[in-house]
Amino acid sequence: MQFASQWLDLSEPHVMGVVNVTPDSFSDGGSLFPSQSLCLDAAMSRARDMVAEGASFLDIGGESTRPGAEPVSAQQELDRVIPVIEAIKASLDVVVSIDTSTPQVMLEAAAAGAGLINDVRALGRAGALSAAASTALPVCLMHMQGDPKTMQDNPVYESVVHDIGDYFKQRVSECEHAGIAAQKILLDPGFGFGKSLAHNLQLLNQLQSLANQGLPLLVGMSRKSMIGNVLNRPVDERLHGGLAVAIMAYERGAHIIRVHDVGPTVDALRMAHAVMSSI
């Protein structure tokens, strides 16, 4: 698949490293904001480490989507993400993914060099569909029941896998009508976004049914509460569980694994790929 100027073969697994440039990230406590302002040097140090460890993508997000998160303004997002995107594109050979739902941020991130729009709201905000289409970039549509502030209050599904599959069919159709070809669309089932532990486990177990829709899958379970709840581990002790679910996702058809711990995940996926592609 073409991501702006870069081509990646999605028949092999790829790792997306997370670079949250928010002061309230659930996974790292906003470590890139030591004084409530972005430390570009720290962000770039993390980015360089992740690329050296084998990340094909870096996902840059300026608005927290953790449960209970409050929205931020477009200008706040821009101030956080654009300097990081520009610095990465100036020095690193990696696809930059912009994690945003905001049309203005999509447009300016694309102009700064982003190669993928990764939207937890599946281009549902006013103007997002037309903005994304105008960039001509690939898009990743994520499923989320509700919004980040309330999504975990009481998620309910008739069938979590079938409901998500139907949602994706509708959103892909709307994207195509807006001028975004299916060949430029990836899907993310949205683990932890409006889903109980039981929903998340069932979703991973049956992930192949979503892969069968024929579009590349991106999944993100790294350090999430589904791992913590099963293993009774805090956020900083969920690596082993994260590696397990990353491999299970790849075995069930996922193409891109979004993680905080790039090096160990790259090694695990390379091993799994070698076994699964052997004759």
Residues marked active site are found at 224, 258
- The H helix count followed by the E strand count for the chain is 10, 10
How far is the C-alpha of 147 from the C-alpha of 77, rounded, in Å? Answer: 18
How far is the C-alpha of 100 from the C-alpha of 29, rounded, in Å? Answer: 19
**Nearest CA-CA partner of 188 in 62, 59, 94, 76:** 59
Contacts 24+ apart (CB under 8 A), 122-130: 122/167, 122/171, 123/171, 123/174, 123/175, 123/178, 125/101, 127/103, 128/101, 128/102, 128/103, 129/174, 129/175, 129/178, 129/180, 130/103, 130/178
- CB-CB contact of 87 with 101 (8 Å): no
